[in-house]
Amino acid sequence: MSGIHPFRVLRAKPLWIANGVITGVLAVLFAVFYVGANIAPVDHMTKLPVGLVNADKGADAGGKQVNLGTQITESIKKSTASGDKIDWKVMDEKELKEELGKGKLYGALVVPADFTSATTALTSAATTGAPVRPTLTVLTNQSAGSVGSSLARTATTQAAESASLQVGKELTAQTGPQQGKLPAAARVLLADPAAVTVEDGHPLDSHSGLGLTAFYYALVLVVVGMLSANVISGQVDHALGYTHNDMGPLRLHRPLIRATRVQTLAISSTLMAGLSLLMGSLVMVGAVGLMGMHAAHLPLLWLFSVCAIAVSGIGALTLLAVFGTPGMLVVTLVFIGMAVPTANATTPIQALPDFYRFLAEFEPLRQITGGIRSILYYDAQADAGLTRGWVMMAVGLAAAALFGFGVLGWYDRKGLHRIPAETEPEKTAAPA
């Protein structure tokens, strides 16, 4: 016994400095990643994909064929009012349905088939009784992300309202002297003829969390894999006798079984792969069976869930093995700190600053969310994020294996072996 009171350790400056630096950096990084990514999505928005459909069949007006839908879509496409914030994609109704059904569009503006005929009818004095107001339809797509859908809705609504006012100017000019024959309500209607209606372009089941169940389900898979890696790493070290295992007031210690760093990681990864079958099954039972989350393609969802947990867990085990004690901080930053803001689930990637868009290219949560979203919302279509999810998980697993076993093999070759927590003290010979 040293005779020094344990609380005297608080007088050690290195203890305060080391922990202050680590916790301070962690606090700043989380603030930057979480808050910084979402402060001004509109200011950072670039080329948000939004559909633009002209289904207008046109009409005869004054002896010539007129198609106001064409004028509107061309005007919106050429407009510089939104700068490069919106990427207007001109397409037909069939293409629009397909793109919304793959999550490739955050919304759309549709000019209906009778738009020109309904609009030109307003200029006739015969319509003074009950004119039919033309409509422009704004479609949303919450399945692609609530914030992205909201940004698209705002942009398309503004474009539709501007188009209505522009058409109104043309109608007012065309009526000329006939305006005096129209009632006041009709003249007001001519100035702003189109009604803007908002509809859901890709309706989801009521148990889909307004398009957020895919994100939260994917987040659960990543967190389960990450936390399980921490548990498995500690339990393997205990099983090999390198660390104690505290169970309440009891401290358990097993005999030492010497293992190289590579062998330890191989054991941990095997355990993670095997237990992922259990964890993936229980996540599905909890989300779908107990909580009632809407889900289709259950066998595929189960397989993807198991693989996502396994890859996330093995990746976390690799970082823990390579970096040691600081590895858990690295794991937290990689799988949570940098991952959540760049998952393309709440704020779309197109509305993130450039640095976050770069992170989104390889952050695991984004890839897993895309795959889960495809399975839950888009009928498991390959090009709706499922193929990218599988490919990026395979790439992540390969990268973890190369990095982990490569670095740990180097540690072993250099003789940087692990030192057991407790070893028998050397016995000194008794004096003669």
Is it the case that residue 431 has pLDDT exceeding 90? no
d(CA 67, CA 61): 10
Look up residue 202 and give its DSSP letter: S
Is it the case that residue 425 has pLDDT exceeding 70? no
Question: Helix count (H) and strand count (E) of the chain?
Answer: 14, 9
What was the pLDDT predicted at 212?
93
- Residues written for the chain: 432
Is it the case that residue 346 has pLDDT exceeding 90? no
Task: For 103-130, write each residue's pLDDT tens digit.
Answer: 999 999 999 998 888 888 776 644 455 6
Backbone φ and ψ of 193, nearest 5°: -75, -30
d(CA 225, CA 220): 8
Is it the case that residue 424 has pLDDT exceeding 70? no
Q: What letter represents residue 366's amino acid?
A: R
For all residues of the chain together, what is the average pLDDT? 88
What was the pLDDT predicted at 177?
60
Alpha-helical regions (H) of 324-385: 327-332, 354-360, 364-377
- Which residues lie below 8 Å from residue 300, measured CB to CB, with a gap of 6+? 375, 380
Collapsing DSSP states into helix, strand and coil, what is residue 195?
A: strand
d(CA 348, CA 144): 8
What was the pLDDT predicted at 423?
54
* Single pTM value for the model: 0.89
d(CA 407, CA 423): 26
Is it the case that residue 369 has pLDDT exceeding 60? yes
What was the pLDDT predicted at 418?
79
- Token couple for 416: 């940087």
8 A C-beta contact, residue 136 and residue 194: yes
Gyration radius of the chain's alpha carbons? 31
d(CA 97, CA 161): 23
- Give the pLDDT band of residue 290 (cuts 50, 70, 90): very high
d(CA 353, CA 359): 10
8 A C-beta contact, residue 120 and residue 129: no
Percent residues over pLDDT 90 in the chain: 57
Least confident span in 60-74, 126-140, 153-167, 258-272: 126-140
d(CA 422, CA 253): 9
Other Cβ atoms less than 10 A from the Cβ of 118: the count is: 21
Q: Which residues does residue 51 pair with via DSSP β-bridges, in sequence order?
A: 89, 108
Is it the case that residue 195 has pLDDT exceeding 60? yes
Look up residue 85 and give its DSSP letter: S
C-alpha closest to that of 241 among 48, 422, 25, 22: 422
Task: For 381-401, write each residue's pLDDT tens digit.
Answer: 999 999 999 999 999 999 999
d(CA 369, CA 222): 10
Q: Which helix (H) or strand (E) holds 111?
A: strand 107-111
- Give the pLDDT band of residue 349 (cuts 50, 70, 90): very high
d(CA 279, CA 277): 6
Beta pairing, strands 86-91 & 48-54:
parallel
8 A C-beta contact, residue 168 and residue 191: yes
